[in-house]
Amino acid sequence: QVQLVESGGGSVQAGGSLRLSCAYSGFKSNTNCMGWFRQTADKEREGVAAIGTGGGAIYYATSIQGRFTISHDNIKNTLFLQLSSLQPEDTATYYCAARPRYWCDYDWSPISKYTDWGQGTQVTVSS
């Protein structure tokens, strides 16, 4: 059973940075597509970035504009999202998600493709 546990959220001022972590366990394969998503009360959940634990391409939402960096550590079984130059519109609950036994591809962002989700971590950016 796949388990995903996010941490690292918090409150920062505009222009600040945070690093989110997602500890994962339970994968039966070394090839898994993992993604970060975010959601606010008035918007649908949207993809932020995706990366494969077995390598391959990294994908970002165009709205991120180079401010966020996704990475993973297969030794520590942890997925990361470095958030930089944060703006108030980045305020959201951020979720880690997994698509076990799949490579990430250009069509990475539909939430229906991900079968496992963490509980979310809140990021609040004040102006």
Tokens 């991120």, residue? 64
The pLDDT mean for the chain works out to 96
Q: What is the pLDDT of residue 34?
A: 98
- CA-to-CA distance for 76 and 67, rounded, in angstroms? 24
Rounded to the nearest 5°, which phi and psi values hold at 64? -75, -30
- Please check the confidence at residue 56 and state whether its pLDDT lies above 90: no
Per-residue model confidence as pLDDT tens digits over 89-122: 999 999 999 999 999 999 999 999 999 999 999 9
Ramachandran category for residue 98: left, alpha or beta (phi over 0 → left; psi -120 to 50 → alpha) = beta
What is the arithmetic mean of pLDDT over 65-84?
Answer: 95
Q: What is the pLDDT of residue 19?
A: 98
What is the arithmetic mean of pLDDT over 65-85?
Answer: 95
The strand ranges marked E within 1-127 are 3-7, 10-13, 18-25, 32-39, 46-52, 59-60, 68-73, 78-83, 92-100, 116-117, 121-126
Q: What is the pLDDT of residue 55?
A: 85
Q: What percent of the chain has pLDDT over 90?
A: 92
What is the arithmetic mean of pLDDT over 56-81?
Answer: 93
56: Cβ contacts below 8 Å, ≥ 6 apart: 103, 104
Nearest one of 45, 124, 120, 44 to 87, comparing CA atoms: 124
- CA-to-CA distance for 98 and 45, rounded, in angstroms? 15
